[in-house]
Structure 1
Amino acid sequence: MSDPVNIYEIGSPEFNAFFKRMRERADTGGSPTGDVNSRLLARVRESGDNELIQFAEHFFEGLHPFAEATVERVLDLVSKHGDAALTQLTRVFDSYPLTSATIRVSQKDLDALALKADPELLEVCRRDVLPRLTRFHERQKQESWQIEEKGGGVGIRVQPLQRVALYVPGGKAFYPSSLMMSAVPARVAGVREIAVFTPPGALEQTPLMAALLKELGISEVYRLGGAQAIAAAAFGTEKVARVDKIVGPGSEFVALAKRMVFGRVDIDNVAGPSEVVVLFDGSANAAWVAADMLAQAEHDELAAAVGVTDSAEAAQAVVAQLARQLAGLPREATARRSLQNFGGIVVAPSMGFGIRFADTLAPEHLEILTEQAEQHAAQVKNAGAIFVGPYAPEAFGDYCAGPNHVLPTVGTARFASALSVGDFLRQVSIIRGSAELLAAHRQAIVKLARAEGLEAHARSVELRS
């Protein structure tokens, strides 16, 4: 069997092709959906439900076979038809018999599902995870402030958003950790209304999520996933009140929907596929490097796991470990495909060159397993999160290190940051005037207003003289 990943020397034609492939991961809207649409329509027709068949045929009729077109049509339907569209879309895409009455999870159902959670796992979250997340995010709190001057003053009032939506993804797996990572900063910020959207069946398959919702004091939960969940949160329906902001990672359809509704509501970011870059040298434990790359690759087939080193010998050792550890991995097929698509070991002429390459990728996660890990970490400019040293695997950050694991992806770490308490706050400027303060600045205001041709502005100040 061939090696699970290739080794690329920076500057080679093979490296250039690999780098191009990595950059193209950032493209959104281009994923073809023709085959998926055909399978969905065939499944609906097999149901024998004439009303659903008519809805699905109308939905897919003339639909451009790309994800962006699907999302646009979903948003349009939900904005126009509300709950009726949500129930039909969920039956088409999730094959779940959603009704208007079951869009929101009842308190009775939430309580019953919470009782099914593994008590030991719930206790781990109570004792270890939630306290660490809360302690870290408490440090991100922001305070209002005021500068007093001449009987007046200026300042900032920091206040929480009133209502937010937390999207908790599902599909191939369900992630209670994502619920905690989104909910903790929202609670620390003081958000009054927190609504959780998660695909139908998520709570039934992962009762821990129901137990955590109760632990977090969240009772507004909707059985909605994909673009239709984002549409419901952004537009509102009969059963779902619109929100001020939507946060949380999700599929390509979720990411596209968030991008399209931005402006009507705020969003945290447009998340792409997950990724890790592991910077390592000859001192690194090859088995540990390989294990951390596989921890990323098992997420999904679009995940990227890239090693960067200045040692060809170390690169070969990691490739051998990847082959050894892949065998028998529960998600071996997914991890293997991920490594084939977007995995690789890049050999740089020096560690400094490797750091510059990592900066160019601006990865979501950057691990540094080198003898001079602290010094190398200080040289990195672009990364969502930096994991310093051999005892800081990405998995630590994913679950309970403290910082948020909702991070910028596919190069957006050049300008974006991890989800934080600040994402759930607004800063309102406060300007308190006084006769003395306004008089002191009268001339500057009047001159600037007239220079810009805004005479009414100037007169509004002169009248107060």
Structure 2
Amino acid sequence: MRTIDLRGRELSPADMLAAVPRATQARAEALDTAARIVEDVRDRGEEALREQAERFDHVSGHDLRVPAGHIAEALEVLHPDVRVALEEAIRRVRIASAAQVPEPSVTEIGPGATIRQRWQPVHRAGVYIPGGKAVYPSSVIMNVVPAQVAGVEQIALASPPQHDQGGRVHPTILAAAGLLGITEVYAMGGAGAIGAFAHGVADIGLDPVDVLSGPGNNYVASAKRAVAGVVGTDSEAGATEILVVADSTADARLVAADLVSQAEHDEQASAVLVTDSEDLADRVAAEVARQASSTRHAVRVEAALGGPQSAIVLVDDRAMATAFSNAYAPEHLELHLEDAESAAESFTSAGAVFVGDHTPVSLGDYMAGSNHVLPTGGQARYAPGLGAYTFLRPQQVISYDRAALAEVRAGVVALANTEVLPAHGEAIEARFTA
């Protein structure tokens, strides 16, 4: 991992953003490619999806819409231990997601004048589950459960066809879908799947969705940007990011383990350590080198850690570490600090914050109850992670009786005339004239 030394510098917010390690070129290239793939699916539908499956997934002649029998078979062969773990994760995520649904409320503006706030679920959602370098049944849970809690009536799921499964979706993905009662499943991956959800594919019976969600690589994240305005999306949950803020009390072995754990997702994964302790930085670097070389996906990990998106950042003090973290706005933020619980309040921009030695990102990936579909690329400065609210639309229901309207009659007419929209005022007056 390279080192970025910010010590002894006065950095403006713009300077801090410029210092953040990002693989900007890779993101720019992904956006252009993803847009073309989405347009191809929009224009050519099933034919484009099959060509993309052959090109990217090396499969052909497969069922694009997964037969119900495949889901049933996957449930039958699911290992009992994995089933128990999935069911417990479902339970935990369901509890946490339920807390995200606001209660309806009624506000009385005056006698006879009320505004009712309600949260309406979208009718149809599409969830994308990656399946390239790893298998993510946990992502099935993270996407489907919040949509179900929100009250979405129709949920469709897509995941790439697997070459070693004869073009089928990975059986563990199908089993997780089966546990959640999802029957509309498609074997399609990447940006093409995002385009298919947004525009629909009549030939395979896929109707467009209202909202689509799910993590993926930079191409999936870029495809969401390409369909923005056509369909609602969650934040762009692209290649994973972890930022660890640590002081001299941190355990270098644990910090390194957590950096490596996220780097194994993808060569584009970002792993960043921010510390004011040069000694800790040296110890973490040594531990990362040791652990990275011995892990199963060593080649992938070393590519991610050696990329421009990963670094050890040296800062002067806690204030500078906090400012850097908030500028970076990481997907996952870990705090390995002596006073981590109280310090957490200052770290305001992150998809999710993991506090203390015993709360690693891996916990959030599976069993914490929190959602692991989180904003990347700095979007945590303004965008939330996935939750039940992703599938809900706040609506205001307004009700005024005649007396309440009369109370504001003159004011509406005055403002309408000021804006040179007299018909607005006339619509009010019509209610008081024969």
Superposed pair shares fold, TM > 0.5: yes
Matches within 5 A, 1:87-98: 87-98=50-61
Among 234, 245, 253, the alignment partner of 1:268 is: 234
2:332 and 2:298 mapped to 1: Cα distance? 21
The residue aligned with 2:5 is 9
Return closer, same or farther for 1:444/1:257 CA change in 2, 3 Å cut-off: same
The residue aligned with 2:153 is 192
After TM superposition, give the deviation of residue 147 of structure 1 in Å: 2.5
What secondary structure sits across from 1:301 in the alignment? coil
- Report how many residues are paired: 422
Stretches of structure 1 that go unaligned for 5 or more consecutive residues are 32-66
Among 418, 422, 442, the alignment partner of 2:385 is: 418
The residue aligned with 1:332 is 298
What secondary structure sits across from 2:272 in the alignment? strand
The residue aligned with 1:389 is 356
Matches within 5 A, 1:178-257: 178-201=139-162, 204=168, 206-238=170-202, 239-257=205-223
1:311 and 1:75 mapped to 2: Cα distance? 46
Bigger shift: residues 439-448 or 375-384: 375-384
1:178-208 superposed Cα distances (whole Å, 9 cap, x missing partner):
1111111111111110000111128857422
After TM superposition, give the deviation of residue 11 of structure 1 in Å: 4.6
Among 113, 118, 123, the alignment partner of 2:84 is: 123
Bigger shift: residues 266-275 or 189-198: 266-275
What secondary structure sits across from 2:294 in the alignment? coil
Return closer, same or farther for 1:162/1:175 CA change in 2, 3 Å cut-off: same
1:401 and 2:399 matched? no
1:408 and 1:116 mapped to 2: Cα distance? 34
Give the % identical residues: 37
Contact 1:26 1:410 in 2 (8 A): no
Higher normalized contact order (CA 8 Å, seq sep 6+, divided by chain length): 2
Matches within 5 A, 1:25-424: 25-26=23-24, 30-31=28-29, 67-98=30-61, 102-126=63-87, 128-148=88-108, 149-201=110-162, 204=168, 206-238=170-202, 239-341=205-307, 342-424=309-391
Q: TM-score under structure 1 normalisation?
A: 0.86
1:272 and 1:391 mapped to 2: Cα distance? 26
Stretches of structure 2 that go unaligned for 5 or more consecutive residues are none
1:219-258 superposed Cα distances (whole Å, 9 cap, x missing partner):
1000111222111111112221110011011222222221
1:411-457 superposed Cα distances (whole Å, 9 cap, x missing partner):
11111111111111112221112101110110111011111111111
The residue aligned with 1:443 is 410
Return closer, same or farther for 1:125/1:72 CA change in 2, 3 Å cut-off: closer
What secondary structure sits across from 1:464 in the alignment? helix
Cα RMSD between the aligned structures? 2.3
Contact 1:384 1:413 in 2 (8 A): yes
After TM superposition, give the deviation of residue 20 of structure 1 in Å: 5.0
After TM superposition, give the deviation of residue 29 of structure 1 in Å: 5.4
Return closer, same or farther for 1:70/1:386 CA change in 2, 3 Å cut-off: closer
Contact 1:361 1:411 in 2 (8 A): yes
Return closer, same or farther for 1:383/1:352 CA change in 2, 3 Å cut-off: same
1:152 and 1:351 mapped to 2: Cα distance? 51
What secondary structure sits across from 2:271 in the alignment? strand
The residue aligned with 1:55 is none
2:220 and 2:2 mapped to 1: Cα distance? 32
Contact 1:274 1:410 in 2 (8 A): no
After TM superposition, give the deviation of residue 86 of structure 1 in Å: 2.2
Bigger shift: residues 316-325 or 286-295: 316-325
After TM superposition, give the deviation of residue 378 of structure 1 in Å: 1.5
After TM superposition, give the deviation of residue 92 of structure 1 in Å: 2.9
Return closer, same or farther for 1:431/1:413 CA change in 2, 3 Å cut-off: same
